[in-house]
Protein backbone atom coordinates (compact mmCIF):
# COMPACT_ATOMS: atom_id res chain seq x y z
CA UNK A 1 0.00 0.00 0.00
CA UNK A 2 1.26 3.48 -0.85
CA UNK A 3 -0.26 6.94 -0.48
CA UNK A 4 0.53 9.53 -3.14
CA UNK A 5 0.15 13.07 -1.90
CA UNK A 6 1.71 16.54 -1.69
CA UNK A 7 2.47 18.10 1.70
CA UNK A 8 1.12 21.63 1.11
CA UNK A 9 -2.14 20.43 -0.52
CA UNK A 10 -5.19 20.71 1.74
CA UNK A 11 -6.79 17.45 0.60
CA UNK A 12 -3.54 15.59 1.14
CA UNK A 13 -3.32 17.17 4.59
CA UNK A 14 -6.78 15.87 5.46
CA UNK A 15 -5.50 12.31 5.02
CA UNK A 16 -2.23 13.06 6.82
CA UNK A 17 -4.17 14.37 9.82
CA UNK A 18 -6.39 11.28 9.74
CA UNK A 19 -3.29 9.05 9.75
CA UNK A 20 -1.73 10.98 12.62
CA UNK A 21 -4.92 10.90 14.71
CA UNK A 22 -5.41 7.15 14.23
CA UNK A 23 -1.74 6.16 14.30
CA UNK A 24 -2.10 4.27 11.02
CA UNK A 25 1.19 4.04 9.17
CA UNK A 26 1.14 4.17 5.35
CA UNK A 27 4.20 4.77 3.14
CA UNK A 28 3.92 8.10 1.32
CA UNK A 29 5.29 9.25 -2.03
CA UNK A 30 4.98 12.93 -2.79
CA UNK A 31 3.90 14.20 -6.22
CA UNK A 32 4.48 17.89 -6.78
CA UNK A 33 1.11 18.92 -8.21
CA UNK A 34 2.32 22.49 -8.63
CA UNK A 35 4.87 21.14 -11.12
CA UNK A 36 2.19 19.01 -12.85
CA UNK A 37 3.61 15.59 -11.86
CA UNK A 38 0.01 14.31 -11.67
CA UNK A 39 -0.32 14.67 -15.45
CA UNK A 40 2.65 12.38 -16.20
CA UNK A 41 2.59 8.58 -16.38
CA UNK A 42 2.10 6.41 -14.44
CA UNK A 43 0.20 8.86 -12.23
CA UNK A 44 -2.17 10.18 -14.91
CA UNK A 45 -3.43 6.62 -15.46
CA UNK A 46 -3.52 5.82 -11.77
CA UNK A 47 -5.80 8.80 -11.09
CA UNK A 48 -7.35 10.25 -14.27
CA UNK A 49 -8.86 13.00 -12.12
CA UNK A 50 -5.26 14.31 -11.83
CA UNK A 51 -5.40 15.11 -8.14
CA UNK A 52 -3.76 14.00 -4.94
CA UNK A 53 -4.21 12.24 -2.65
CA UNK A 54 -4.69 8.73 -3.98
CA UNK A 55 -3.99 5.37 -2.37
CA UNK A 56 -2.50 2.41 -4.25
CA UNK A 57 -3.41 -0.96 -2.73
CA UNK A 58 -1.13 -3.98 -2.84
CA UNK A 59 -3.13 -5.49 -5.73
CA UNK A 60 -2.69 -2.31 -7.79
CA UNK A 61 -6.20 -0.95 -7.22
CA UNK A 62 -6.31 2.81 -6.72
CA UNK A 63 -8.59 4.70 -4.34
CA UNK A 64 -8.79 8.46 -4.78
CA UNK A 65 -10.80 11.10 -2.88
CA UNK A 66 -9.41 12.11 0.49
CA UNK A 67 -12.44 11.22 2.60
CA UNK A 68 -12.91 7.92 0.75
CA UNK A 69 -9.29 7.03 1.54
CA UNK A 70 -9.87 7.84 5.20
CA UNK A 71 -13.07 5.77 5.23
CA UNK A 72 -11.31 2.79 3.65
CA UNK A 73 -8.48 2.94 6.19
CA UNK A 74 -11.02 3.40 9.01
CA UNK A 75 -12.81 0.19 7.99
CA UNK A 76 -9.67 -1.86 7.41
CA UNK A 77 -7.00 -0.58 9.77
CA UNK A 78 -8.30 1.67 12.57
CA UNK A 79 -8.31 0.49 16.21
CA UNK A 80 -10.49 3.45 17.19
CA UNK A 81 -12.57 4.41 14.11
CA UNK A 82 -13.11 8.09 13.38
CA UNK A 83 -16.28 7.46 11.34
CA UNK A 84 -18.26 6.05 14.32
CA UNK A 85 -18.70 2.52 15.60
CA UNK A 86 -22.47 1.84 15.56
CA UNK A 87 -24.98 2.55 12.75
CA UNK A 88 -26.33 5.48 14.78
CA UNK A 89 -22.85 6.92 15.39
CA UNK A 90 -21.87 6.47 11.75
CA UNK A 91 -25.08 8.23 10.67
CA UNK A 92 -24.43 11.22 12.95
CA UNK A 93 -20.83 11.50 11.80
CA UNK A 94 -21.76 11.14 8.13
CA UNK A 95 -24.51 13.75 8.43
CA UNK A 96 -22.06 16.37 9.71
CA UNK A 97 -19.37 15.25 7.33
CA UNK A 98 -21.69 15.80 4.35
CA UNK A 99 -22.86 19.14 5.68
CA UNK A 100 -19.26 20.30 6.12
CA UNK A 101 -18.25 19.02 2.69
CA UNK A 102 -21.28 20.09 0.63
CA UNK A 103 -22.36 23.28 2.38
CA UNK A 104 -18.92 24.53 3.47
CA UNK A 105 -15.94 22.91 1.81
CA UNK A 106 -17.16 22.95 -1.81
CA UNK A 107 -18.35 26.58 -1.87
CA UNK A 108 -15.14 27.74 -0.20
CA UNK A 109 -12.94 25.55 -2.42
CA UNK A 110 -14.34 27.36 -5.46
CA UNK A 111 -13.99 30.71 -3.70
CA UNK A 112 -10.32 29.98 -3.00
CA UNK A 113 -9.65 28.67 -6.51
CA UNK A 114 -11.19 31.81 -7.99
CA UNK A 115 -9.38 34.15 -5.60
CA UNK A 116 -5.82 33.03 -4.85
CA UNK A 117 -3.40 34.05 -7.67
CA UNK A 118 -1.61 30.68 -7.52
CA UNK A 119 -4.79 29.03 -8.87
CA UNK A 120 -5.09 31.19 -11.99
CA UNK A 121 -5.41 28.78 -14.93
CA UNK A 122 -6.38 25.96 -12.58
CA UNK A 123 -9.77 27.00 -11.22
CA UNK A 124 -11.05 23.40 -11.41
CA UNK A 125 -8.87 20.96 -9.43
CA UNK A 126 -6.89 18.62 -11.64
CA UNK A 127 -7.21 20.73 -14.79
CA UNK A 128 -5.19 23.26 -16.72
CA UNK A 129 -7.67 25.58 -18.39
CA UNK A 130 -8.14 29.07 -19.74
CA UNK A 131 -11.28 29.50 -17.63
CA UNK A 132 -10.73 32.83 -15.86
CA UNK A 133 -10.96 33.35 -12.11
CA UNK A 134 -14.40 34.82 -11.41
CA UNK A 135 -14.81 37.29 -8.50
CA UNK A 136 -18.55 36.47 -8.41
CA UNK A 137 -17.70 32.87 -7.51
CA UNK A 138 -15.60 34.14 -4.62
CA UNK A 139 -18.45 36.26 -3.29
CA UNK A 140 -21.11 33.59 -3.71
CA UNK A 141 -18.88 30.87 -2.21
CA UNK A 142 -18.32 32.99 0.87
CA UNK A 143 -22.03 33.81 1.13
CA UNK A 144 -22.99 30.13 0.87
CA UNK A 145 -20.42 29.03 3.45
CA UNK A 146 -21.51 31.81 5.83
CA UNK A 147 -25.01 30.28 5.86
CA UNK A 148 -23.47 26.95 6.85
CA UNK A 149 -21.29 28.56 9.53
CA UNK A 150 -24.31 30.39 10.99
CA UNK A 151 -26.01 27.01 11.39
CA UNK A 152 -22.86 25.32 12.68
CA UNK A 153 -22.35 28.16 15.18
CA UNK A 154 -25.66 27.34 16.86
CA UNK A 155 -24.80 23.63 16.86
CA UNK A 156 -21.38 24.23 18.45
CA UNK A 157 -22.84 26.09 21.46
CA UNK A 158 -21.46 24.14 24.46
CA UNK A 159 -19.87 21.48 22.28
CA UNK A 160 -16.23 20.44 21.90
CA UNK A 161 -16.77 18.21 18.86
CA UNK A 162 -18.81 18.50 15.70
CA UNK A 163 -20.35 15.03 16.12
CA UNK A 164 -20.49 12.48 18.95
CA UNK A 165 -18.47 13.15 22.11
CA UNK A 166 -15.02 12.77 20.62
CA UNK A 167 -12.92 13.68 17.62
CA UNK A 168 -14.28 12.29 14.37
CA UNK A 169 -13.72 12.76 10.66
CA UNK A 170 -16.38 15.52 10.89
CA UNK A 171 -13.92 17.57 12.96
CA UNK A 172 -11.13 16.96 10.45
CA UNK A 173 -13.31 17.97 7.51
CA UNK A 174 -14.78 20.87 9.48
CA UNK A 175 -11.32 22.13 10.38
CA UNK A 176 -10.12 22.21 6.77
CA UNK A 177 -13.40 23.82 5.71
CA UNK A 178 -13.23 26.58 8.30
CA UNK A 179 -9.50 27.13 7.70
CA UNK A 180 -10.37 28.53 4.27
CA UNK A 181 -11.94 31.56 5.98
CA UNK A 182 -8.34 32.74 6.51
CA UNK A 183 -7.03 33.14 2.93
CA UNK A 184 -10.47 34.48 1.99
CA UNK A 185 -10.24 37.05 4.83
CA UNK A 186 -13.81 36.34 5.96
CA UNK A 187 -15.22 38.19 8.94
CA UNK A 188 -15.61 35.45 11.60
CA UNK A 189 -16.90 37.66 14.45
CA UNK A 190 -20.35 36.05 14.31
CA UNK A 191 -18.94 32.57 14.97
CA UNK A 192 -17.28 32.56 18.45
CA UNK A 193 -18.26 28.94 19.19
CA UNK A 194 -16.70 27.78 15.94
CA UNK A 195 -13.60 29.89 16.64
CA UNK A 196 -13.22 28.24 20.07
CA UNK A 197 -13.58 24.77 18.59
CA UNK A 198 -11.27 25.62 15.67
CA UNK A 199 -8.53 26.88 18.03
CA UNK A 200 -8.68 23.69 20.08
CA UNK A 201 -8.54 21.48 16.98
CA UNK A 202 -5.68 23.51 15.49
CA UNK A 203 -3.61 22.95 18.67
CA UNK A 204 -3.77 19.15 18.45
CA UNK A 205 -0.42 17.52 17.66
CA UNK A 206 -1.84 15.74 14.58
CA UNK A 207 -2.73 19.09 13.03
CA UNK A 208 0.84 20.45 13.18
CA UNK A 209 1.59 19.91 9.49
N1 LIG B 1 -12.16 15.77 -4.11
C2 LIG B 1 -10.74 15.48 -4.09
C3 LIG B 1 -10.00 16.77 -4.42
C4 LIG B 1 -8.53 16.57 -4.53
C5 LIG B 1 -7.84 17.86 -4.89
O6 LIG B 1 -8.46 18.86 -5.24
N7 LIG B 1 -6.49 17.81 -4.78
C8 LIG B 1 -5.72 18.96 -5.15
C9 LIG B 1 -4.75 19.32 -4.04
S10 LIG B 1 -5.62 19.92 -2.62
C11 LIG B 1 -4.88 18.60 -6.36
O12 LIG B 1 -4.28 17.56 -6.42
N13 LIG B 1 -4.85 19.49 -7.32
C14 LIG B 1 -4.05 19.32 -8.49
C15 LIG B 1 -4.45 20.27 -9.56
O16 LIG B 1 -5.37 21.08 -9.33
O17 LIG B 1 -3.86 20.16 -10.62
C18 LIG B 1 -10.32 14.92 -2.74
O19 LIG B 1 -11.03 15.18 -1.74
O20 LIG B 1 -9.32 14.20 -2.66
The pLDDT tens digits of the residues spanning 157-207 come to: 999 999 999 999 999 999 999 999 999 999 999 999 999 999 999 999 999
Pocket of ligand 1, beta carbon within 6 A: 9-11, 33, 38, 50-53, 65-66, 122, 125-126
CA distance 139 to 19: 34
Q: Is residue 7 part of a domain?
A: yes
Give the predicted TM-score (pTM) of the model: 0.98
**Total of domains in the chain:** 2
Q: How confident is the model at residue 71 (pLDDT cuts 50, 70, 90)?
A: very high
Domain encompassing residue 104: 87-207
> Which pLDDT band holds residue 22 (cuts at 50, 70, 90)?
very high
What is the number of other CB atoms lying within 10 angstroms of the CB of residue 180?
Answer: 21
- My answer on whether 195 and 94 are in the same domain is yes
Nearest atom in ligand 1 to the alpha carbon of residue 66 is 20
- 8-state DSSP, 165: T
Residue 61 resides in a domain = yes
* Residues 94 and 191 grouped into a single domain: yes
In this structure, the chain runs to a length of 209
Residues 44 and 69 in one domain: yes
Same domain as 91, residue 72: no
How far apart are the CA of 16 and the centre of ligand 1, in A? 14
Dump pLDDT digits (tens) for 131-151.
999 999 999 999 999 999 999
Strand pairing of 62-64 and 28-30?
Answer: unpaired
pLDDT mean across residues, the chain: 98
Amino acid sequence: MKLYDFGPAANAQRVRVYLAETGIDVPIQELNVREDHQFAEPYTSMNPFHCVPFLELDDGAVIAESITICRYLDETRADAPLFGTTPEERAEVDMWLRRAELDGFIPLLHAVRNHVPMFAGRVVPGTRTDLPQLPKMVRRGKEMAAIFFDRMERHMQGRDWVALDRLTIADISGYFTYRMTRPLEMDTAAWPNIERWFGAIAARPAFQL
